[in-house]
């Protein structure tokens, strides 16, 4: 229980209300309305409230904290961890927090918006009796797969639709996570699907962990998250080399829409991964990198020629048509109505299928300027 | 003479003095001292004075203006030019302006600093009687080659040392350039080496010009500069696809030191060049791109491991030892003394050879952090 006490930063309700009032006064807390839902959202981290912290009435769901990235296991384990740590798969999807509020089970995104898609579908993946028995719990999970409304990339083992993979449990009104064993017990009890658990490692297990990283690299997984088995619960993430190739392929079709650092960081990470793991720099690997970067550019050019703009296309499945419409509404507000195009919303089999596109206005603007013969002063 | 009058923006001496006084008051004009030289330099463009404009006493040497970059010839020629234009080679070196002041012939860089190296060596390339006969002239040239104090890249046809390639003539105290024929006549009269002149083209000559661009691409040249044969003297530059590979190879060893856009712009330009010229995207080309990006990263890592820092190494040849020392002095001031390391200064054959290195503190700092196991929150 001592661990437990240190792991949680529970603030008295009164002090919490002061904090919320101060965030509101500072313009960091915004009211959101979507459908019948009404809540408040921390738009930029404020004192102890991380970005994405969300308030439903007086109930606080803390934002999922940022996890620092290790570029090297060889030196990183020693520097970052002083206790054994749990290692789990880092799934290439989007982060949600799921909890019960006023009888409904809701899913909110990293930034704290209700996600109508995830909310619509979450019962396909989890037994919500978890929240009936433990109404104070907040489930943290990754949603990943080719048919999701946010990401163009997905893990190789989700061939269609999406999957949900839990990796943490929090409690409402508290910062910090449940300890590993307690989390595992609850997730298993309710059959909640989890990210792959690779077990408990120590700093001395570097060779074994490096072997795992190389295996994940070969099989197209994104990487791992390391969680210290201690009251401090120190964490770090580490990605494989190849995931950078996948990211660059997707990113190069959205150049200028993404920050330029998106590209340089991934090239650097790939280089450091190859160096750390003594992976041979084969012509095939180099070719893949070159292809990832150029094919995206040419894809964007081709789209601009065909459609006069560059946009990303998405498809996802809903149980309820109203949730699909709320998803569009949410995207309109997030990206601007002119940048989201509803293409299809129709019943197919047991689902309503929504197809839509998101414009890439910066990519479109840059390509239009360049392909029409404009000058650039750089 | 009408062309001539429009081509030049000659400002009366009195108005010029007002302008200079205003630039000084606004902090845009800085006094520079190096050796016995003392001059003033426009550090940021101010009204009609471009960055790099330099004042020797009351004599103004206008900064070399920025030339806009075309990403496409197919559409660009039509949009940018309404008259025939001269096409010349864009040489991959550094830009200098050379002129006579108080009996000395001096070379200043794009940013308006006296370059002791170029000043020391310019008589090897040009007949300075040009400036005796025409003391008002300012010669604009590219200095390129493997042994230069600024750039790691150089054109394939300069195998050692440096070469100098003139491309414009200006007049002191005036903005704008001499017309093509007048410039050519003067350069030929004094045997000043020029950038390659490819002749006069019209917008309709697109196929021929595109053929030239592909030929330059195959032979590893940087690109072309297009100069309208008209009073407006409109200009544009256009680079080959392959030069981007060379730039990326050099840049990837200095990642983080360079802006991230350095990389994305070049990847995009390469893609657009391939598309415009219907160049087959071969595995060999992709491999070259991938290799250019990763080998640089690994080179930087290897250097950091060997030397505890990442630095670029330079060597150049001087006639006079004092000029080599002034070059170091200039670099100390430009980059900070701690970032420039003198390695060798000794007579070899008919020259003094200076070897020095320039630290890449951002690259060093980033690699040190990552390779030592630091976390990044990105």
Q: What is the arithmetic mean of pLDDT over B92-97?
A: 98
Taking an 8 Å cut-off on Cβ atoms, the answer to whether B377 and A69 are in contact is yes
CA distance A323 to A121: 10
Instruction: Kindly list the distances between the CA atom of residue B252 and the CA atoms of B90, B245, B300, in Å, as whole numbers in the listed order.
Output: 23, 10, 8
Q: What is the arithmetic mean of pLDDT over A55-84?
A: 96
Q: What is the pLDDT of residue B78?
A: 96
CA distance B9 to B19: 14
Q: What is the pLDDT of residue B4?
A: 42
**B365 reaches A (C-beta below 8 A):** no
Gap from B14 CA to chain A (nearest CA, Å) = 32
CA distance A29 to A48: 13
**B271 reaches A (C-beta below 8 A):** yes
Q: What is the pLDDT of residue B16?
A: 81
Percent of chain A whose predicted confidence (pLDDT) is above 90: 94
Q: What is the pLDDT of residue A44?
A: 95
Taking an 8 Å cut-off on Cβ atoms, the answer to whether A260 and B263 are in contact is yes
pLDDT at residue A2 above 70? no
**B134 reaches A (C-beta below 8 A):** no
Q: What is the pLDDT of residue A353?
A: 98
DSSP assignment string, A208-240:
HHHHHHHHHHHTT--EEEEEESSTT--EEEEE-
pLDDT at residue A3 above 60? no
Residue A7: band (very low, low, confident or very high) from pLDDT cuts 50, 70, 90:
very low
Q: What is the pLDDT of residue B11?
A: 60
Closest CB from A66, A297, A375 relative to B267: A297
Gap from B282 CA to chain A (nearest CA, Å) = 9
Q: What is the arithmetic mean of pLDDT over A247-262?
A: 97
Q: What is the arithmetic mean of pLDDT over B125-132?
A: 96
| Per-residue model confidence as pLDDT tens digits over B59-81 | 999 999 999 999 999 999 999 99
Taking an 8 Å cut-off on Cβ atoms, the answer to whether B281 and A291 are in contact is yes
Token digits for B307?
Answer: 């030397």
Residue identified by tokens 């990605």 is A239
Q: What is the DSSP letter of A377?
A: -
Residue B17: band (very low, low, confident or very high) from pLDDT cuts 50, 70, 90:
confident
CB-CB contact of B89 with B163 (8 Å): no
Q: Which residues of B touch A63 (CB under 8 A)?
A: none
Q: Which of A86, A99, A219, A91 is nearest to A164 (CA)?
A: A91
Give every CB contact of residue A205 below 8 A, 6+ residues apart in sequence.
Answer: none
Q: What is the pLDDT of residue A15?
A: 82
Q: How far apart are the first and last CA of chain A?
A: 60
CATH numbers and ranges of domains, chain A: 243-307 (1.20.58.2250), 311-370 (3.30.70.2160)
Q: What is the pLDDT of residue A59?
A: 94
Q: What is the pLDDT of residue A133?
A: 97
Gap from B68 CA to chain A (nearest CA, Å) = 5
ipTM: 0.94
CA distance B335 to A188: 60
Cβ neighbour number for residue B335 with a 10 Å cutoff:
13
Per-residue buried b or exposed e for B286-322, using 16+ beta carbons within 10 Å of the residue's own CB: bbbbbbbbbbbbbbbbebbeeeebbbbebebbbeeee
Q: Three-state DSSP class for A56?
A: strand
Taking an 8 Å cut-off on Cβ atoms, the answer to whether A373 and B79 are in contact is yes
CA distance A154 to A10: 36
Q: Which of B179, B180, B173 is nearest to B10 (CA)?
A: B173
CB-CB contact of B230 with B83 (8 Å): yes
Quickly count helices (H) and strands (E) in chain B: 12, 19
Q: What is the pLDDT of residue B7?
A: 46
pLDDT at residue A138 above 80? yes
Q: What is the pLDDT of residue B15?
A: 82
CA distance B239 to B243: 7
Determine the Cα angle at B44 with ends A363 and B4, to 5°: 90
Q: What is the arithmetic mean of pLDDT over A259-282?
A: 97
Q: What is the DSSP letter of B289?
A: H
pLDDT at residue A6 above 80? no
Taking phi first (over 0 means left), then psi (-120 to 50 degrees means alpha), and beta for anything else, what does residue B117 get? alpha
Cβ neighbour number for residue B24 with a 10 Å cutoff:
16
CA distance A65 to A138: 14
| Per-residue model confidence as pLDDT tens digits over B252-269 | 999 999 999 999 999 999
CB-CB contact of B142 with B154 (8 Å): no
Q: What is the pLDDT of residue B1?
A: 35
Token digits for A47?
Answer: 């004192």
CA distance B85 to B208: 13
Q: Three-state DSSP class for A235?
A: strand
Taking an 8 Å cut-off on Cβ atoms, the answer to whether B372 and A293 are in contact is no
Token digits for A165?
Answer: 């993979």
Residue A9: band (very low, low, confident or very high) from pLDDT cuts 50, 70, 90:
low
Beta bridge partners of A70: B375
Q: What is the arithmetic mean of pLDDT over B50-56?
A: 96
Closest CB from A267, A287, A293 relative to B287: A287
Q: What is the pLDDT of residue A5?
A: 40
Taking an 8 Å cut-off on Cβ atoms, the answer to whether A275 and B301 are in contact is yes
| Per-residue model confidence as pLDDT tens digits over A335-375 | 999 999 999 999 999 999 999 999 999 999 999 999 999 99
Q: Which residues of A touch B271 (CB under 8 A)?
A: 293-294, 297-298, 301
pLDDT at residue A8 above 80? no
CA distance B26 to A351: 66
Residue B151: band (very low, low, confident or very high) from pLDDT cuts 50, 70, 90:
very high
Taking an 8 Å cut-off on Cβ atoms, the answer to whether B294 and A283 are in contact is no
Q: Are strands A94-101 and A137-144 parallel, antiparallel or unpaired?
A: antiparallel
Residue B9: band (very low, low, confident or very high) from pLDDT cuts 50, 70, 90:
low
CB-CB contact of A193 with A46 (8 Å): no
Q: What is the pLDDT of residue B10?
A: 56
Q: What is the DSSP letter of B230?
A: S
Percent of chain A whose predicted confidence (pLDDT) is above 70: 96
Token digits for A26?
Answer: 């500072």
| Per-residue model confidence as pLDDT tens digits over B228-241 | 999 999 999 999 99
Q: What is the pLDDT of residue B5?
A: 40
pLDDT at residue A324 above 80? yes
Closest CB from B289, B291, B373 relative to A293: B289
**How buried is A140 (Cβ within 10 angstroms: 0-12 exposed, 13-18 middle, 19+ buried)?**
middle
Lowest mean pLDDT among A15-24, A243-252, B102-111, B324-333: A15-24
| Per-residue model confidence as pLDDT tens digits over A28-37 | 999 999 999 9
pLDDT at residue B224 above 70? yes
Chain A (226-245) residues lying within 8 Å, Cβ to Cβ, of chain B? 236
Q: Which run of H or of E encompasses A104?
A: strand A104-109
Gap from B349 CA to chain A (nearest CA, Å) = 41
Residue B73 sits at φ, ψ, to 5 deg, of -80, -35
DSSP assignment string, B22-54:
HHHHTT-EEEEEETTEEEEEESS-BTTB-TT-E
CB-CB contact of B294 with A268 (8 Å): no
- Mean pLDDT of all residues in chain B? 95
**How buried is A290 (Cβ within 10 angstroms: 0-12 exposed, 13-18 middle, 19+ buried)?**
buried
Residue A276: band (very low, low, confident or very high) from pLDDT cuts 50, 70, 90:
very high
Q: Three-state DSSP class for A111?
A: coil
Taking an 8 Å cut-off on Cβ atoms, the answer to whether A71 and B376 are in contact is yes
Q: What is the DSSP letter of A135?
A: T
Residue A116 sits at φ, ψ, to 5 deg, of -65, -30
């Amino acid at each position: 229980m001592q661990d437990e006490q240190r792991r949680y930063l529970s603030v008295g309700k009164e002090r919490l209300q002061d904090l919320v009032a101060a965030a509101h006064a500072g313009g960091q807390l915004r009211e959101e309305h979507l459908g019948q839902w009404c809540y408040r959202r921390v738009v930029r981290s404020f004192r102890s409230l991380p970005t994405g912290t969300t308030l439903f009435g007086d109930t606080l769901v803390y934002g999922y904290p940022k996890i620092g990235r290790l570029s090297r296991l060889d030196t990183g384990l020693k520097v970052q961890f002083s206790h054994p740590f749990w290692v789990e798969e880092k799934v290439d999807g989007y982060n949600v927090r799921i909890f019960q509020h006023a009888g409904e089970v809701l899913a909110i995104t990293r930034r704290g918006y209700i996600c109508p898609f995830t909310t619509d579908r979450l019962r396909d993946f989890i037994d919500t009796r978890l929240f009936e028995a433990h109404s104070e719990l907040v489930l943290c999970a990754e949603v990943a797969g080719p048919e999701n409304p946010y990401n163009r990339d997905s893990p190789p083992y989700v061939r269609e639709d999406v999957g949900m993979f839990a990796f943490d449990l929090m409690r409402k009104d508290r910062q910090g996570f449940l300890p590993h064993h307690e989390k595992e017990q609850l997730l298993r009890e309710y059959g909640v699907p989890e990210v792959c658990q690779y077990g408990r490692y120590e700093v001395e297990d570097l060779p074994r962990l490096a072997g795992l990283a190389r295996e994940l690299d070969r099989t197209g997984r994104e990487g791992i998250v390391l969680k210290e088995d201690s009251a401090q619960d120190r964490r770090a993430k580490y990605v494989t080399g190849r995931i950078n190739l996948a990211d660059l392929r997707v990113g190069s079709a959205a150049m200028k829409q993404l920050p330029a650092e998106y590209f340089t960081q991934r090239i650097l990470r790939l280089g450091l991964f190859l160096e750390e793991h003594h992976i041979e720099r084969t012509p095939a690997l180099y070719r893949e990198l070159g292809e990832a970067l150029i094919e995206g550019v040419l894809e964007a050019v081709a789209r601009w020629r065909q459609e006069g703009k560059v946009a990303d296309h998405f498809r996802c499945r809903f149980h309820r048509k109203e949730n699909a419409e709320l998803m569009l509404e949410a995207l309109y507000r997030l990206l601007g109505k002119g940048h989201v195009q509803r293409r299809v919303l129709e019943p197919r089999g047991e689902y309503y299928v929504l197809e839509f596109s998101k414009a890439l206005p910066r990519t479109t603007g840059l390509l239009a300027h360049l392909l029409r013969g404009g000058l650039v002063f750089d």
